Structure 1
Amino acid sequence: MKTFKSKIDWWLVGIIIIVFAYPIIDGILSKQYALSYTMLAILGLIGIMFSKIKYVIVGKILKIWWIKVEIQTIRKIYKTRNPLSSPALSLDRIAIVYNKYDEVLISPKNKKEFIDELLKINPDIVVEI
């Protein structure tokens, strides 16, 4: 089993904190504490989700959150900065194309080591980075 953590764009984390900071502070100043507690709870859940983003290679399976990809079905890996929602905490991403039409965007901290591990299992993967 090999685990790779997600790369983190700290400016993205800063934006999320700023977006939630306003309603939290406003709720405290206006004595609407339910608003502040709700926003803090949501911010906490986002923090927990962020801390759980990792990519795990177990045998011939790549696990990305609840997604399980058979490494033998991976056809192509390419670099992207696509901002679509995905299990990636950075816009410095790679796209993994698997099966016939499936694709997932991820942002491993150490891309080269991650791709090398995948290539050990499936050397037929086309890498465009």
Structure 2
Amino acid sequence: MTIWSGQMYFPSKKDIWMSSIHFFAAFILIVLPARSENFSILLIITLIIPGLISLFVWLRTGYKIINEKIIIIYGPMKFKVNIHDIQRLHYIKSPFVGPALSVDRIGLTHSKSKFVTISPKDKERFIKELLKINSNIVIDK
């Protein structure tokens, strides 16, 4: 967790197998086409850009608590969740797609049954900070 000017940043926990997938994808999609004799703009569009996005997601996934909101950052995408709208937190293991780089996740149920999974590296500290703002959150372990 990093704190600056009233903001708290929690980087995503990163599993080894997820690391392998992202770096393998980046290698296949960036390095191999760049070394090709047939390197062209088509390769840049179809291979290198997705490879760079994969790296961007890997390097930039995390969660900020600012005032009474969580800003979920997943590569180039950002989502906001009002902490007062969070009803329930679930400890889950899930490999499915979500703004998380680990299967060791927290599921957030918020505002009218919306659900998102995240994987802060320091889950316990993250949950404590949420509970400081909204003590009504139910935690399912």
Deviates more, 1:87-96 or 1:11-20: 11-20
Identity of aligned residues (%): 30
Aligned to 1:92: 104
Is 1:125–2:131 an aligned residue pair?
no
TM-score by length of 2: 0.78
What is the number of residues matched between the two proteins?
A: 128
Contact kept, 8 Å, 1:4 with 1:109, in 2: the verdict is yes
2: CA distance, partners of 1:32 / 1:7: 38
Q: Deviations over 1:72-105 (max 9, x none)?
A: 1111001112222111011111100011210110
Structure with the higher fraction of residues in strand conformation: 2
Residue from 14, 21, 24 that aligns with 1:18: 24
Q: 1:48 to 1:20 in 2, by over 3 A?
A: closer
What stretches of structure 2 of length at least 5 have no aligned partner? Answer: 1-6
1:1-129 superposed matches below 5 A? 1-19=7-25, 21-22=27-28, 24-25=31-32, 28=35, 31-34=37-40, 37=44, 39-65=47-73, 66-129=78-141
TM-score by length of 1: 0.84
Post-superposition offset of 1:22: 4.8
Contact kept, 8 Å, 2:25 with 2:54, in 1: the verdict is no
- Aligned-residue Cα RMSD (Å) equals 2.2
Deviates more, 1:82-91 or 1:96-105: 82-91
Post-superposition offset of 1:45: 2.0
